[in-house]
Chains A and B, each alone.
Chain A
Amino acid sequence: EAEVAQSPRYKITEKSQAVAFWCDPISGHATLYWYRQILGQGPELLVQFQDESVVDDSQLPKDRFSAERLKGVDSTLKIQPAELGDSAMYLCASSSLAGVNNEQFFGPGTRLTVL
């Protein structure tokens, strides 16, 4: 069964360092999402791509976060510089425009710890 891949699964970094997360969506899924999930809270949408274009990045802290999906397939989310408050699970999800339920398929996430 096709799955969304994310790497790394875990990342520990010191504040002020740069970190990057990678996501490979399910093949053929045009829509890709990055979420941040703080423990005990629901996922918070950071950015949504349709193919290679950004559809919604209104919640992305653009002073330190950036996201790209250059060829409309895999995507990278970067934080520079990382702050203590960025410690969270970063989830990637993808969906198909043809999906009946508009369901999102989530990857396993990257657990970021900023020291």
Chain B
Amino acid sequence: SQKIEQNSEALNIQEGKTATLTCNYTNYSPAYLQWYRQDPGRGPVFLLLIRENEKEKRKERLKVTFDTTLKQSLFHITASQPADSATYLCALEDMRFGAGTRLTVKP
């Protein structure tokens, strides 16, 4: 059966550094992959979508890559800020979500 995994439960980094989060999937070939942000007690908020024919997508300080050979997407936040602290979720086109990575950016 298909599986979607995010690299770690929690990631702690210093303000100003780049955060890199990983999403791996198996037994599936999605046409696209999405990234969402979720704050405690709230619903997820859409950030970016990357399609299978796109290697990279950027939005302000966010960058997403998609490697269909490795079955992996990387999500980067550059010049991270404490306000970026949240849980980040990846989702495949069939609406299956990973467990999320909780990012904490320390001042």
Interface set of A (CB-CB < 8 Å, partner B):
4, 33, 35, 40-45, 48, 56, 91, 93, 101-109, 111
Contacts and interface: CB of A to CB of B under 8 A. Distances in A.
A29 to B, nearest CB: 13
Range of interface residues on B (Cβ < 8 Å): 20 to 34
B43 A42 contact: no
B74 interface: no
A44 B46 contact: no
Nearest to A100: B49
Interface of B: 9, 32, 34, 41-46, 48-49, 89, 91, 93, 95-100
A105 B96 contact: no
B63 to A, nearest CB: 16
A65 B46 CA distance: 27
Nearest to A107: B43
A101 B46 contact: yes
Contacts of A44: 97
B95 A45 contact: yes
Given A42-B100, A103-B49, A108 B42 contact: yes
10 contacts: A35-B97, A42-B89, A42-B99, A42-B100, A43-B89, A43-B97, A44-B97, A101-B46, A102-B32, A104-B46
